């Protein structure tokens, strides 16, 4: 789903970094919960990666609407963007979903999944803040909403 631009594109650099991190985290079976793994796998697929061992990807049925509503929304937005050719949507709705998918797959997923490790939090918060300043060039509205 992600269209990589030139090698010098900041967005493409961040996308490659996120894809590499997600690939390693999934290979190492980092996530104890299925919903965390599902989010990581969706983001990886959206970024053009493959699951370890050439495992086939399949969509899971929607699960319970749990306390981490933001995670379930991220999962559903990625699914909607991946299936955008098969789901009837008006062009504006499709554009908005794609904008959110870019933010979720490239930035949000990695930092959200790493947030449970306290030793990473200060450095990750700073990196995320700096990346959102750079992301302003791509999508000022989302970047401003984040910080």
The structure's pTM equals 0.86
Tell me how many domains the chain contains. 1
Q: Which residues contact 75 (CB under 8 A, 6 or more apart)?
A: 35, 38, 39, 42
The reply to whether 23 falls in a domain is yes
CA distances from 130 to 22, 99, 107, 114 (A): 20, 19, 11, 17
The reply to whether 69 falls in a domain is yes
The reply to whether 71 falls in a domain is yes
The reply to whether 108 falls in a domain is yes
pLDDT one-digit tens code per residue, 102-119: 999 999 999 998 887 888
Structural domain of 43: 10-50+65-117
pLDDT one-digit tens code per residue, 69-86: 788 889 989 999 999 888
The reply to whether 142 falls in a domain is no
Do the beta carbons of residue 101 and residue 108 sit within 8 Å? Answer: no
The reply to whether 16 falls in a domain is yes
């Amino acid at each position: 789903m992600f269209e990589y631009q030139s090698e010098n594109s900041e967005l493409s650099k961040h996308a490659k970094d996120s894809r590499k991190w997600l690939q390693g985290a999934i290979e190492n079976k980092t996530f104890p919960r299925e919903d965390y793994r599902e989010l990581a796998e969706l983001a990886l697929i959206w970024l053009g990666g493959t699951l370890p061992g050439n495992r086939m990807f399949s969509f899971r049925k929607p699960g319970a609407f749990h306390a981490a509503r933001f995670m379930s929304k991220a999962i559903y937005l990625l699914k909607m963007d991946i299936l955008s050719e098969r789901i009837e949507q008006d062009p504006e709705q499709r554009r908005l979903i794609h904008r959110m998918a870019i933010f979720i797959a490239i930035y949000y997923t990695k930092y959200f999944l790493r947030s449970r490790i306290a030793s990473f939090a200060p450095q990750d918060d700073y990196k995320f803040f700096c990346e959102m300043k750079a992301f302003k060039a791509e999508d000022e509205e989302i970047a401003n909403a984040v910080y």
